[in-house]
Amino acid sequence: MKTDLHCIEPGSKVRMRDLDPDATPLIDDKEKAKEKNAKVQARLAEMQELLFAEHRHKLLVILQGMDTSGKDGTVRHVMGGFNPQSVRVVSFKKPTEEELDHDFLWRVHAKVPALGEVTVFNRSHYEDVLVVRVHELVAEKTWRKRYDQINDFERMLTENGTTILKFFLNISREEQRERLQARIDDPTKRWKFQHGDIEERKLWDDYMSAYDDVLEKTSTKCAPWYVVPANRKWYRDYVVGNVILDALESLDMKYPAIDLTGETIDDASGA
């Protein structure tokens, strides 16, 4: 699978305006993609069980994107078959007073996966170089330091057995408009709509500039960014699912061997 096509090469220059959210270079047949997605999802469930059983590795999946880019949908459609026993989905909200009294990564470190676990960050520590930058919540000299701090943090995690996969779900501004309107029009989806979504939409260009820097400065060999064309949901699922599957299979995991020498099962029937 040539999913590396969507991977940001460390050190490369990134301009969001040059990345087509409608592109489907790996597969252009929606129905075939859906068929393959179902098989990938089943295989992912098998690999998650193996990850849990072997208990030597950890997987952290980071999902970022503009409002309506499909972060929740990706969790449902790609990782919906995972066993809840060893998977967690974490969404970082506005920091509490206690969290603000610590460094910005303090609350994040507490949520990373343990051995055998999969953790999904639905939004993440990257909000601390995105939202805080766009809304000028901290000084520029503060958020600029955070790129290196994030890289150091993620390198430490990988050196301690964590595989990190970072996905930016790339939708167009027009696609976002249509999805926001769909939320307003559909009573079953209206609860997802927030008036603040409209205000954030006005800052689209500022966010794109912020993402340019995030992708350039924090796509590393140990924790690469994948920019996933996400206007077509089926293609988004196809790319994310295959990247995760490739990463898990590359770990060459095995079920632990257990010495059963001399073990017998007693007949408990009493006969």
Model pTM above 0.85: yes
Can you give the pLDDT at residue 82? 92
Take residue 149 and report the two structure tokens written for it: 């701090």
Give the per-residue pLDDT at 243: 97
Distance CA 161, CA 140 (A): 33
Burial of 95 (0-12, 13-18, 19+ CB in 10 A): middle
> Tell me, what's the pLDDT at 191?
82
Write down the pLDDT at residue 179.
Answer: 93
If you search the block for the tokens 């307003």, which residue do you land on? 184
Contact (CB, 8 A) for 210 and 134: yes
- Residue 3 has a pLDDT of 78
For 3-249, which CATH class?
alpha beta
Helix (H/G/I), strand (E/B), else coil: 138: coil
Task: Indicate the pairing of strand 162-170 with strand 58-65.
Answer: parallel
Q: Which of 218, 84, 51 is nearest to 144 (CA)?
A: 218
Q: Which helix (H) or strand (E) holds 69?
A: none
pLDDT (tens digit per residue) in 84-101: 989 999 999 889 999 999
Give pLDDT, residue 90.
Answer: 96
Q: DSSP for 76-136?
A: HHHHTTS-GGGEEEE---SPPHHHHTS-TTHHHHTTS--TT-EEEEES-GGGGGTHHHHTT
What is the DSSP secondary structure assignment for residue 266, as one 8-state letter? Answer: -
Ranges of residues in the chain whose predicted pLDDT is under 70: 1, 268-271
Q: Quick one: pLDDT at residue 268?
A: 61
